[in-house]
Amino acid sequence: MSLLARIYQEERGANLAEWGILVSLIAVIAILAVTSVGNSNSEMFSEIGSAFP
């Protein structure tokens, strides 16, 4: 029996796959949030910097 077949037949393997999907989704959401906040902060600091002579 192949390794993938054993992983999907066992309960622990299914739980491991679910946790992997959950962690990857949280990572993607965190990356998108940091990127969004970074872009808005960059725009804000550019406006502040251009206000000074």
Specify the 3-state DSSP secondary structure of 10. coil
Instruction: Write down the mean pLDDT value for the chain.
Output: 82
Q: Where exactly are the structural domains of the chain?
A: 25-53
pLDDT category of residue 42 using cuts at 50, 70 and 90: confident
- The model's pTM: 0.57
Give the up-direction half-sphere exposure of residue 36: CA atoms within 13 A in the CB hemisphere: 6
Length of the chain: 53
Whole-angstrom distance, CA of residue 53 vs CA of residue 33:
33
Q: Which two tokens stand for residue 47?
A: 């406006």
Percent of the chain with pLDDT over 70: 79
36 pLDDT tier (thresholds 50, 70, 90): confident
